[in-house]
Structure 1
Amino acid sequence: MNIWWAVTATCLGCYALKLAGLSAPRWVLDHPQVQRFAALVPVALLAALIAVQTFAHGQALHLDLPRTAGLGAAVVALLLRAPFLVVLATAAVVTATLRHVLS
């Protein structure tokens, strides 16, 4: 039964957070620092998610060569200004190829 208290509290917290965002006055949202923060937070969160998925195994750091090589290939494709689907395909192909070769 304790899990349902946690689920309910999380739901209420998410709702309150959404309501606070919708209730924010326009002058707060138009502030340049708030707009810069809102533009950069998704990039930081995505980078953190990629780092965790690439270099973590459970609760320990783990250097997985195929994942790291796939990430490197994606970075190279991004630097070459490849379209997003090409970046994803490049990372997937490099990772899959190395997994096949190393297994």
Structure 2
Amino acid sequence: MTSAVAAAILVLAVGTYAFRLVGPLLHGRIELSVRVQELLSAGAVVLLAALLVTGALTEAHGFAGWARPLGVLVGGVLAWRQAPFVAVVLGAAATTALLRATGVA
């Protein structure tokens, strides 16, 4: 490993720990307005939804096929119906596996 790579890793590690330390240190010292708190909450939901959509629909820079999105849909419906987490995961995985076994890519 070259010294430049080691230095970059060290800088990133220190930055990561410093970023994590700032939250507990500033907790209670900085107060955000209600509007900013609402925007941060909405931003988190949008980010998670975008990650879900890209993870469910794409694979190797292309469409993942129909089995994976349908499995995610089944998992989403089970979660919405408040099924246990294990049932949600197994339902989504089983749906995807069965569709792929029947030739639905």
Task: Confirm or deny that 1:71 pairs with 2:75.
Answer: no
Q: In the alignment, what sits opposite 1:12?
A: 14
Give per-residue Cα distances to partners, 1:34-80, cap 9 Å, x unaligned.
76546973x5554343323222223x231421111101111221222
TM-score by length of 1: 0.73
- Partners of 1:3 and 1:57 in 2: CA distance: 30
- How many angstroms does 1:17 deviate by? 0.1
Tell me which protein shows more helix as a share of its residues.
1
SS at 1:74 equivalent = helix
Letter in 2 for 1:15: Y
Contact 1:29 1:35 in 2 (8 A): no
Structure 1 gaps, min length 5: none
Q: Which runs of 5+ in 2 are unaligned?
A: none
- Contact persistence 1:28–1:34 (CA under 8 A): no
Q: Output the amino acid matched with 1:53.
A: G
Higher RCO structure, 1 or 2 (CA under 8 Å, sep 6+): 2
Partner of 1:96: 97
CA RMSD of aligned residues (A): 2.7
1:22 and 2:24 are equivalent in the alignment = yes
Seen in structure 2, the aligned counterparts of structure 1 residues 86 and 40 have a Cα distance that, compared at 3 Å, is: farther
Q: 1-side partners of 2:32 and 2:81: how far apart?
A: 34
- CA distance in 2: counterparts of 1:38 and 1:28, whole angstroms: 17
**Bigger Cα displacement from structure 2, 31-40 vs 83-92:** 31-40
Aligned length in residues: 101
* TM-score, L = length of structure 2: 0.72
